[in-house]
Structure formats: C-alpha cells, structure tokens
Amino acid sequence: MTEIPQTDDAPSPFPFPDGPMSSPPPEFERRRAVCPLSEVTLPTGDRAMLALKHADIQQIMSDDRRFTRDFSDPEAPRLFHNLLMLEDPTIMLNMHGEDHLRLRRILASAFTPRRAAAWRPQVQESIDLLLDEMEKAGRPANLMSFAYKLPTKLTCKMLAIPEEDGEQLLKWVSAWLSFAMPREELDKAAADFNDYVVALARRRRDEPGDALIDHLISARDRDDRLSEDELVSTIRTLIIGGNETIANSISRMTFTLLRQRNLWETLQADRSLIPTAIEELLRHNPPGGGATGLMRLATEDVELVSGAGTVKAGQAVFTPLVAAAYDPEAFPDPETVRFDRPRQPSTMQFGAGRHYCVGVHLARTELELMLTALLDRFPNLRLAEAPEDLPWSEGGYGVTMSELPVTW
C-alpha cells in the first residue's frame, strides 16, 4: 500500500486561492508534482483527501460502487457550513444508489439528443432577441447580463414559468449557491423557492401542456413516475443548474476568446471548430473556479490508479475538475488553448459515471448556438476593459464574473 505524502504537519486549509483572473490555484500544480493525494482541512473544520491527477479524479468520479455521494450521516464531513445545494439530500447531485439510478432513467427520456435538437429554434430565437436588445442599448454592453438572461429565459420557457419571474429565480439560485448569506436569509429563500416550485408543479399537473416540465411529469421508469417531492426537487435542480452553470460557461468562454484574440479569429475563419472549441474552452476556463467539484466517501480502501496513494474506507475525497483539466499527463501544455486536442481523455466538465450531466445535450446546444451568434452578429467584439481589471464574485460555490464589459 502506497504511503500518502504530506506537505505539512497539519493539513492545509482548502479551498486554495485561485490564480489571477480566476485561473487555477497555483497550489494545485505544486501539489500535483509532489503530493497528488494529500489531506486538507475544509472550511467546516472537517478533513478530506484532495486528488489532483486526471486519472485519479476520473477513477473516483466513475467508480460509483467504492465512492458514494451519500453524505446523509450527520457525522459525515461537509465542505461548507451553509450551502443549500450541498445540504439537500433530495436533489440528484447528492443522491446515490438505486433511487439515483431510477431518477436518472426517468429524466433521460426528457433530455434526449432528439429533444435537444427540437429545442434549437426556441434557443436561437431567445439568443437573437437578447442580442437585439444588447445591440440596441449600445456600447459598451455588459455581456454578463446576456449570459444570465439567456439561460433564465430558456428555463422559463422549458418549465412553463412566467418570464417576469426570471429575476426572482436568479435571486433564489444565488441564495442556493451562497455560503456567505446569513442562515435566516438562506432558510427563507429555501422555503420560498420550494413553495414556488410546489405551486408550479401542481398547476402543470392540473393543466398539462407540451413544455419540458410536462414531459418530466409524464416520464416513467417502467410503471414508476416521479413522486411529487421528486418532481419538485428535480425542477429546483434544473432551475439552479440550467441558470448558473450555463451563464458562467458563456462568460468564461467569451472572456477567453476575447482575451486571446487569435482564438476568436480562428473560429471566425472556421466555424466547424465550434463544437470542439467549446470542449477545450470549458477545459481551459471551466465554470466555477478551483473549489468546484464534488466530494465522495470511500466505502472501502481504494488505491488510486496513478499510484498517488490510497483513499481509506470512510475518508472523504474532493475532486476539483480544474485540477484534472490542467494535468499535463492528460493534457500536454494545459495552459494553451488548442482546438485540435484529441477527444480523449475526457475533460469531465459534464461529469463522469452515474453523475454525468443529464442535460448535457441541451447545454451543448445552447453554447454552440450562443457562440455562433456572437461570431455572426459581432465579428469585432472585444473587451471594453483590461482583462486584469474585471471583477470576480466571492462568497458563492463557484466564482463568476461580476461584469464583462464588451464593445464592437
């Protein structure tokens, strides 16, 4: 059994500081070289192992038998004290085992590639309307506004939510992802959000239509439909994931392209590169920052494939995706954006194993159409401020850009 090397006598506090402009924490590179599996202290004071090699992170994320997402034990370690998204045991992100598999099978029928393709006209229409608004408002424009409005607009359409409720949805999403908001405010936001979704689900059961929410209501696993509680939890999850992740991806992808102008010009010259460019841009500048990833609990001793060490039964292990994405053994010269990278190994930006993103086809459709539209409508799009002067958010699970001023 390989002994786990440590960098300090006491585990270092985690998360580590990000690099400039929300680039990967420099500590990841250092530790990957000298101790790619080590113990850290979480903000809660709990301890966890930190894996930093791509091969190990892929092994942990893909092995659903020996690494579980079940943190229901009150004594299980926690990443943050106040983070609603990680506290709710009913959402798929925090589920494991047969219930998780059953929910995935039910949801899979509502998120097929065919359904994603059917949504393309509505996605395109929403993009065009929002870019019309941006162009009419004049320069400079805050592209973060577009980045948030687009997924919110689409979420409202897909879940039959009145569009005027979009601003309130974003406030609830922000609360769900915050670990800095006072507890009483978090609890009120959670209760209000839940009451809203309960009313929405009941209304659509009574008056069904042909929106995505109606497909969720009617979707089955053999003779088993989603229960009311499962439906409500799923809708909440879709609102959260469908807004924040897409908005963050849009802003970070565009930021990278405009910061490295040659990349923007490469896509202008060859639009066939867009699908592979999206994967590479998400690898290079993934939504969320250095603390984005999931913890898992080892159900038995597991020696990692890289030889970095052994995660012991009962230990939690954290797998930051940006660490995997910058492992030079998996992605040579990882700091360079290359649109000709091989499709393997996987960047894992949409997950791996049973927790692979169920909405991946729809997400890729949104990002592809968004990027194509920006290139078509604003070929001279550029940053209106120096990249190093742009503000980044704090206090939430996943670092986002506060503003992204652009001109054309």
| Contact between residue 201 and residue 231 where contact means Cβ atoms under 8 Å apart | yes
pLDDT the model gives residue 260:
96
| Contact between residue 119 and residue 369 where contact means Cβ atoms under 8 Å apart | no
Identity of the amino acid at 50: L
Residue 401 falls inside a structural domain = no
DSSP characters for 292-329? -EEEEEESS-EE-TTSS-EEPTT-EEEEEHHHHHT-TT
Q: Which pLDDT tens digit goes with each residue over 67-90?
A: 998 888 888 899 888 888 887 877
Residue 45 domain boundaries: 12-380
Does residue 387 sit in helix, strand or coil? Answer: helix
| Contact between residue 281 and residue 273 where contact means Cβ atoms under 8 Å apart | no
CATH number of the domain enclosing 218: 1.10.630.10
Answer with the residue of higher pLDDT: 368 or 102: 368
User: Sheet containing 12-13: which strands, arranged edge to edge?
Assistant: 12-13, 37-41, 47-51, 316-320, 293-298, 67-68
Residue 269 falls inside a structural domain = yes
Best-predicted range by mean pLDDT among 81-90, 180-189, 254-263? 254-263
Provide the pLDDT confidence category of residue 293 given band limits of 50, 70 and 90: confident
Residue 403 falls inside a structural domain = no
| Total of domains in the chain | 1
pLDDT the model gives residue 164:
96
Does residue 39 sit in helix, strand or coil? Answer: strand
Residue 406 falls inside a structural domain = no
Residue 76 falls inside a structural domain = yes
Residue 276 falls inside a structural domain = yes
Residue 385 falls inside a structural domain = no
Residue 393 falls inside a structural domain = no
pLDDT the model gives residue 6:
47
Rounded to an integer, the average pLDDT of 17-31 is 94
Q: Token digits for 150?
A: 């687009």
Residue with tokens 């990027």: 371
